[in-house]
Structure 1
Amino acid sequence: MKTKIFILCLVAMLIPSLSEAQCAMCRAVLESEEGSQTAKGINDGIVYLMAIPYVLVGVLFYFVYKKMKSGKI
């Protein structure tokens, strides 16, 4: 049982170091380009992906607030 837990912990610690390679590769591609259009596109995509959860949570809280204000809960 202890061996399984040790192996699971070891794999969990190795996964982030394996995924860092993609970030380094993307950065190398973006830095090697002369134009900055691709970098702007990547940055816009990151902002878009980051904003969606905040918008969804905001809408959810708005509807919860509206329901509580009306006293129907």
Structure 2
Amino acid sequence: MLNKVRSWKQEVGSKAVVFAIAFCLLPFASIGQCAMCRASLQNEANKAAAEGVNDGIVYLMAIPYILVAGVFYAVYRLKQKKKELN
């Protein structure tokens, strides 16, 4: 039993390191878009496009938060079920 826990911790730890590295490198890939968006949306004649881009940003921002909240809720429910069984 203890060996299974140790191997699980090692597996999760290695995945966490890969995720952390990918997460740190992600902003470098996305910095290039800001200048392009600003140049295309700077003029006043294109208000509808600017609103569309802003709405798209909100949708893209909301989806990860919803997914993470769902994962935390699922973990919470699993822990509550374990407490009820004990």
Fold shared per TM-score above 0.5: yes
The worse-fitting range, judged by mean Cα deviation, of 44-53 and 25-34 is 25-34
Structure-1-length-normalised TM-score: 0.62
Unaligned stretches of 5+ residues in structure 1? 1-15
Structure-2-length-normalised TM-score: 0.54
* Displacement of 1:24: 1.9
SS, match of residue 34 in structure 1? helix
Task: State the number of aligned residues.
Answer: 57
Q: Which has the higher contact order (CA 8 A, sep 6+)?
A: 1
2:43 is matched with which residue: 21, 32, 40? 32
Please show how residues 54-65 of structure 1 align to structure 2 within 5 Å.
54-65=65-76
Decide whether aligned partners of structure 1 residues 61 and 20 sit closer, same or farther in structure 2, where only a CA change above 3 A counts.
Answer: closer
Unaligned stretches of 5+ residues in structure 2? 1-26
- Give 1 or 2: higher helix fraction: 2
* Displacement of 1:29: 1.5
Aligned-residue Cα RMSD (Å) equals: 2.6
The worse-fitting range, judged by mean Cα deviation, of 28-37 and 52-61 is 28-37
CA distance in 2, matches of 1:28, 1:39: 11
Identity %: 55
Decide whether aligned partners of structure 1 residues 53 and 21 sit closer, same or farther in structure 2, where only a CA change above 3 A counts.
Answer: closer
